Amino acid sequence: MDCEPTNSEIALELGIDEAEVEKYRGDTFLLGDGSWLIHFAYEMPKELRHRLTKGYTLIYTKPLESTGAGQND
């Protein structure tokens, strides 16, 4: 995955609002396996960080897009 994930994609992954991602999102780093390490601010409310690690990070891997292979036309 070459493109950094958008706030909208991260919001869907975490189940929070895009505005909350925008407010608390910090640095984002591309990892060697193609996933992204995304840091969030320490000030992020506890109820919003249930899917984050103890280090306030998320490892994000973009879901594979459906290619339609194996479908009957």
For 10-57, how does the pLDDT look when each residue is reduced to its tens digit (9 = 90+)? 999 999 999 999 999 999 999 999 999 999 999 999 999 999 999 999
Q: Residue 63 above 80 pLDDT?
A: no
Instruction: Supply the pLDDT for residue 65.
Output: 65
Q: Is the pTM of this model over 0.85?
A: no
- Exposed / middle / buried, residue 23 (Cβ in 10 Å: 0-12, 13-18, 19+): middle
- Report the distance separating Cα 22 and Cα 63, nearest Å: 21
Which residues have CB under 8 Å from 61's CB, separation 6+?
Answer: 1, 34, 35, 36
Per-residue confidence at 73, pLDDT binned at 50, 70, 90?
very low
- SS3 call for 36: strand
